């Protein structure tokens, strides 16, 4: 849900930059050159680089700093979103109705890359929170397995994940009607911080590890 909300915050108040859709950015980076829109191509390429940087840095931190800490990736994402809001306020001025520029959106792409390391198993992302295409493919395959004799568990998790992403995007779209671009970035940072706090207290595995450490 947070991924959908952040994506909506970036898309609705920018020049249409995608922070959750690296397939589209990859196409833009290539096609923009053929169309002569080098600004579009360069912006899409930079978004990909920042997304990758978010994944790499969050993965390094997971290995050496917070060691599978359940809320570490969200804390890193929150910091990037705060930086994006501050940069936008500095560059364009707070309460400016103009659209968010590319530089703040690059930090949002970094945050999205970080969020995609939230669920890791055996060193690899088990649930990519912004890879909706893959989620829908797995959902459809689960439906087929259910029809072939499986249970609803084959597809239910993927349906919930997709619906959560859509719900987050809808919430972001509704809020964007009332807030300007820099305010939307601030709202995304607040939302990310709330999720970080929630994961700190809600992940029972972390609580149990802490209790064993205390004992």
Residue with the larger pLDDT of the pair 105 and 14? 105
Provide CB contacts within 8 A for 43, sequence distance 6+: 15, 17, 28, 102
Give the tens place of pLDDT for each residue, 80-98: 999 998 888 887 665 555 5
**For position 24, what pLDDT does the model report?**
84
Check if the beta carbon of residue 195 is closer than 8 Å to that of residue 207. Answer: no
C-alpha 107: how far from chain center: 11
Q: Are 109 and 19 contacting, i.e. CB atoms less than 8 angstroms apart?
A: yes
pTM of the model as a whole: 0.85
194: alpha, beta or left? (left if phi > 0; alpha if psi -120 to 50): alpha
Least confident of 6-20, 136-150, 196-210: 196-210
Is 54:109 a contact under the CB 8 Å cutoff? yes
Alpha-carbon separation of residue 179 from 91, 112, 117, 184, 215 (angstroms): 18, 21, 29, 6, 48
Contacts of 148 (CB under 8 A, 6+ apart): none
Domain count, the chain: 1
Sign of CA dihedral 184, 192, 125, 168: negative
Nearest to 196, CA basis, from 54, 32, 81, 35? 81
CATH number at residue 159: 1.20.1250
Structural domain harbouring 122: 2-214
pLDDT tens-digit series, residues 119-172 = 888 777 888 888 888 899 999 999 999 999 889 989 999 999 999 999 999 998
The position carrying tokens 């930059």 is 17
């Amino acid at each position: 849900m947070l991924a959908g909300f952040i994506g909506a915050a970036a898309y609705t108040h920018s020049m249409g930059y995608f922070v959750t859709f690296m397939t589209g950015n990859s196409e833009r980076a290539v096609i923009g050159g053929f169309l002569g829109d080098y600004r579009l191509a360069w912006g899409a390429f930079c978004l990909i680089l920042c997304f990758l940087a978010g994944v790499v840095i969050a993965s390094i931190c997971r290995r050496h700093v917070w060691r599978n800490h359940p809320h570490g990736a969200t804390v890193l994402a929150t910091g990037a979103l705060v930086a994006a809001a501050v940069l936008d306020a500095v560059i364009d001025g707070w309460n400016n109705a103009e659209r968010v520029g590319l530089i703040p959106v690059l930090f949002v792409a970094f945050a999205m890359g970080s969020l995609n390391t939230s669920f890791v198993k055996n060193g690899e992302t088990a649930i990519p929170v912004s890879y909706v295409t893959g989620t829908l493919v797995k959902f459809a395959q689960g439906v087929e397995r259910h029809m072939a004799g499986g249970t609803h568990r084959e597809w239910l998790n993927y349906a919930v994940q997709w619906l959560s992403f859509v719900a987050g995007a809808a919430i972001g779209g509704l809020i964007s009607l009332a807030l300007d671009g820099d305010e939307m970035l601030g709202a995304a940072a607040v939302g990310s911080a709330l999720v970080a706090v929630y994961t700190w207290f809600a992940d029972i595995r972390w609580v149990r590890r802490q209790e064993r450490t205390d004992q």
